[in-house]
Structure 1
């Protein structure tokens, strides 16, 4: 009888993007189409204590949003994922350690402009995950006349 080996997920990457902490991966080579995945994470203040992520157990998608599962946003975290197919399980694959705040990649804010005669009202907002505490934002605004190289910072 042939031995079935379930290869582990590949390209396991932990991202801190727009204040969401997301683990992504690709299926292992030759994975069956109905393979599922389970994710756990650990934080740097409690290493080797892998915490279950209830909404990322036996999932078919290849990402897991860990943001609202994290118990502490101020320590580095690491995640791991394994593939499951029937009675077979792959080895766990770990991500790198990531810092929620210092490693964050930010998209530009959403700007709404209200232009009237000789004033411009600019409203800037940034969508945050629901479980993230309110953050204080400071924006730098540059204005210039179309076609001009002269920029004015506000």
Structure 2
């Protein structure tokens, strides 16, 4: 009995040592595994394990709250996998995982965070253009292009926050919130002044506003009535001059072309000037 018990202890000890050896031979796992979404795409990203060699590859999987895990990318050497083309739903709740592979060895799977696509995706910045119409500016807003569907297909409520200011006076910026139209006229502006505009998008489901647009600047012009007034004044002056010429034409012509001979001393001077 003692011999049998001793043999069992030796066997258990060897098994424990073997398990420890097997565990230590597992590849190190990828780190900083995160599932991200920008403009409704779905991308799993990770950092390679410490001491990674060029031969290491990765396999990824993803699943929704309604499905089991499915293969995303197999045996790739990059540190991200795009799941967007794999028939994802704009309203789905997803998670992913990644495993490192080197020859016959593999690491444990590393799980990512969960993402609900329509509420967690980062909405990109809109495109803004400005056109001047006298002392007003028309703001035209174009929604960012999404990886699946359009912004208004995904969200029922889309509004715009518009911030504008005189160039160089950011601290005096004014805002228009919750505009539903993508064309807005700013009419409380001064003439012949440069203004800058920036826009962000809000939606009914996404918890965060979009990334802000680039700052776009444009100058206003004079009011149309100013140009009309200037044209009227020029026309009035031209008509007045024409009337004066017609009324006093006889006097003007006599002054320019006198019939009387010049005095003798004027003629002498003119001859001397001509001779010179």
Q: Could you tell me the TM-score, scaled by structure 2's length?
A: 0.48
SS of aligned partner of 2:34? strand
How many aligned residue pairs are there?
147
Which of residues 137, 144, 155 is equivalent to 1:119?
137
**In the alignment, what sits opposite 1:45?**
66
Tell me which residue corresponds to 1:86: 103
Indicate if the aligned counterparts of 1:113 and 1:123 stay in contact, CA closer than 8 A.
no
Partner of 2:265: none
Give the drift of 1:44.
Answer: 0.6
Give, in angstroms, the shift of residue 142 of structure 1: 2.3
Show structure 1 runs of 5+ residues with no match.
none
Pick aligned residue for 1:36 from 38, 45, 57: 57
How much has 1:116 moved relative to structure 2? 4.7
CA contact (8 A) 1:22 1:66 kept: yes
Say whether the 8 Å CA contact 1:6–1:31 is kept in structure 2.
no
Would you say 1:128 and 2:146 are equivalent positions? yes
Structure 2 runs not aligned, ≥5 long: 1-20, 153-157, 180-276
Q: What do residues 42-82 of structure 1 show as CA deviations (whole Å, max 9, x unaligned)?
A: 11112xx11112xx211111011112214333231110110
Is the 1:115–1:121 contact (alpha carbons within 8 Å) kept by the matching residues of 2? no
CA distance in 1, matches of 2:83, 2:129: 30
Q: What does residue 77 of structure 1 align with?
A: 94
Q: Distance in 2 between matches of 1:143 and 1:14?
A: 35
User: 1 or 2, which has the higher helix percentage?
Assistant: 2
Residue-by-residue CA offset, 1:27-55 (whole Å, 9 max, x unaligned): 11222122111111011112xx11112xx
The structure with the largest alpha-carbon Rg is 2
**Of 18, 30, 35, the match for 1:9:** 30
Q: How big is each residue's C-alpha offset from its partner over 1:81-131, in whole Å with a ceiling of 9 and x where there is no partner?
A: 1011112111111101111111122332222333454433423230221xx
Moved over 4 A (4+): none
1:144 paired residue number: 165
Q: Secondary structure at the match of 1:101?
A: helix
Which whole-Å CA distance do the structure 2 matches of 1:34 and 1:112 have between them? 49
Higher RCO (CA-CA < 8 Å; seq separation 6+) = 1
